[in-house]
Chains A and B, each alone.
Chain A
């Protein structure tokens, strides 16, 4: 038994050391360089800062008339409303798609699931948005995020619906509830676990979304987090301390979320991926 223990400890140690070099070092690298002054940050070394320069963060926040704060606000608005709509719309869709299995519903399922693979057609989408008069607006951007996250979200809800017994609904019908009322009072509250997963996974995805705001929400008025980060690459190409301070400020919320909700994120990710 002792030999087995020793082997397990050695294997763990090897993993921890490798993991430290491969996954922790790049993160520490961002962190230490965000705390240095300009001259030592531009050396791009991983040495600890001689003096801690927290004012880097203040400077990045003040940059371009508080662009970062505006970006935070916009990204929060975008994530908040798109997730609310996704939860409401997709739970309803997942409910009917799982409970009914006629031909029309299968067709609708197939159509939605195709969206898991198919890349969005960018230019025609802009054309549709322009025709509707919502191109370059936050409202249009929210609807885009809803449309693009619909396949994944509907799939999660549909999968989870299978575990909710139909008998619960029967009771509600006998008491005289309509289909609409039954869904919102009986079924929807039972979907809480998936709704939580949906919220977290879509929040991560919308916050980290770079390509879609680049296409559908250009302009400095509605700037989102990843776009500010991208625009800082050119602007701070010779002041790495500010660039990394910016990286840290943008990465941190997701990492905090991860440390709090680690298991839920990983499980949700797996559930989604395997069923897809």
Chain B
């Protein structure tokens, strides 16, 4: 029987109908609606006005900057800490499985719950983190109330929650490395730091690329945690694009909200996608 007849295109139909109707079509028309002032009932074409607004308005342009800062910082920290943790968790230790589960479990706790818990832990006067700092003789930090710190406090929480995923990806990358490389290097008298630098690091590059892309893209889309912890405040210090999209939607500026979506799409398209191509080309 012919391949085409055997594997009929109809198998694809249900998936394609749902996916195209509720994902692709909205995506395509978002380019049009982002150029309008729009309230579901009537549409006025305004050209690039919404995008100009995004770059000019202080709150909105701030949210662009914050999104960059947030996604690149969380990504960087997750890559470095995730790699180190994975090396530790594949090394010469006991209780590997228990420790691995421990690092991974925050991933299953919902962002809203994590947000509530860390908001309480970061309470300016009674929070546990500040109590520990004071116990060591330091002075309290207003983690979520100080505009210059708040975004980094959320970044820290995001890392706490997302580190487990980065770590298990690195672990699977490290475990896939052929043991004979290590044995050969040890026979030649390589130190463990050299094993790490010249065998582990280059050979788990595919895993590292996955972590980079995954962390960067999820950082650019981040919404839940910030909404639950600060709602973008104080002021606009923790405002990110996904949050602006929501706020413009709630305020009834549908065109502006859609423009925010398009900006997010462009960011991912022009940064994450070429980066992925670049990283994969370096793998070979």
Q: Main SS of chain A's interface residues? A: helix
Known contacts A16-B95, A23-B105; decide if A250 and B210 are in contact (CB<8 Å): no
CA distance A156 to B225 in the complex (A): 27
Contact residue range for chain A? Answer: 35 or more
Complex interface residues of chain A between 129 and 152 (CB less than 8 A to chain B) = 129-130, 132, 143-144, 146-148, 150-151
B238 within 8 A of A: no
Q: Assess the A250–B110 pair: CB atoms within 8 A.
A: yes
Identify A92's interface contact among B14, B120, B262, CB under 8 A. B14
Q: Does A46 contact B (CB under 8 A)?
A: yes
Q: Is B278 an interface residue (CB 8 A)?
A: no
Contact at A92–B23, with CB atoms within 8 Å? no
B26 touches A95 (CB 8 A): no
Chain A residues near B265: list those with CB within 8 A. 118-119, 121
* Contact between chains at B268 and A95 (CB < 8 Å): no
The CA of A249 and the CA of B1, in the complex, are separated in Å by 55
In the assembled complex, B70 has its CB within 8 A of some CB on chain A: no
Task: Pick from A12, A89, A90, A233: contact of B228, CB below 8 A.
Answer: A233
Asked if A11 and B106 sit within 8 Å, CB to CB, the answer is no
A265-B97 Cα distance, complex, nearest whole Å:
13
A274 touches B169 (CB 8 A): yes
What B residues does A225 contact at CB under 8 A?
A: 110
Asked if A24 CB lies within 8 Å of chain B CBs, one says yes
Assess whether B11 is in contact with A247, with CB atoms less than 8 Å apart.
Answer: no
Contact A8–B93 (Cβ < 8 Å): yes
Contact (Cβ within 8 A) A148 B23? yes
A96 with B109, Cβ < 8 A, contacts A26-B121, A247-B117 known = no
Interface string of A3-16 (1 = CB under 8 A from B): 01001110110011
Pairwise interchain contact B7-A96, C-beta atoms closer than 8 A: yes
- Chain A: residues with CB nearer than 8 A to chain B? 4, 7-9, 11-12, 15-16, 19, 22-27, 29-30, 33, 43-46, 85, 88-90, 92-93, 95-97, 99-100, 102, 104, 108, 111-112, 115, 117-125, 127-130, 132, 143-144, 146-148, 150-151, 154, 169, 173, 179-180, 183, 204, 207-208, 210-211, 214-215, 225-226, 229-230, 233, 240, 243-244, 247, 250-251, 254-255, 257-258, 262, 265-266, 269-270, 273-274, 276
The closest CB in chain B to the CB of A115 belongs to B23
29 interchain pairs, CB-CB under 8 A? A4-B92, A7-B92, A11-B92, A16-B95, A27-B105, A29-B117, A29-B128, A45-B131, A89-B14, A89-B18, A96-B8, A108-B16, A117-B213, A118-B27, A119-B268, A143-B18, A143-B22, A150-B23, A208-B108, A210-B110, A210-B111, A214-B246, A225-B110, A240-B120, A244-B120, A266-B104, A273-B211, A274-B169, A276-B213
Q: Are A208 and B111 in contact (CB under 8 A)?
A: yes
Pick the 3 closest A-B CB pairs, nearest first: A121-B30, A124-B26, A147-B22
Residues of B within 8 A of A11 (CB): 88, 91-93
Residues of chain B within 8 A (CB-CB) of A132 are 21
A270, B127: Cα distance in complex, Å:
35
B118 at the interface (CB under 8 A from A): yes
Chain A contacts of B211 at CB under 8 A?
Answer: 273
How far is it, in angstroms, between the C-alpha of A255 and the C-alpha of B127 when the chains are bound?
25
Q: Are B258 and A123 in contact (CB under 8 A)?
A: yes
Query: Whole-angstrom distance from the CB of B232 to the nearest CB of chain A?
Result: 14
From B7, B12, B19, B109, A115 is in contact (CB under 8 Å) with B19
Minimum distance in angstroms from A83 CB to a CB of chain B: 14
A7 to B27, CA, bound (A): 55
Inter-subunit contact A15/B88 (CB<8 Å): yes
B117→A124 contact, CB < 8 A: no
Q: Are A230 and B24 in contact (CB under 8 A)?
A: no
| CB of B196 closer than 8 Å to a CB of A | no
Within the assembled complex, what's the spacing in Å between the Cα atoms of A97 and B27? 23
Point out the residues of chain A lying under 8 angstroms from B121, CB to CB. 26, 29, 44
| Contact B272–A99 (Cβ < 8 Å) | no
Are A233 and B116 also in contact (CB < 8 A) when A95-B7, A179-B8, A208-B110 are?
A: yes
The one of B16, B102, B220 that contacts A24, using a Cβ cutoff of 8 Å: B102
Task: Give bound CA distance, A19 to B99, whole Å.
Answer: 7
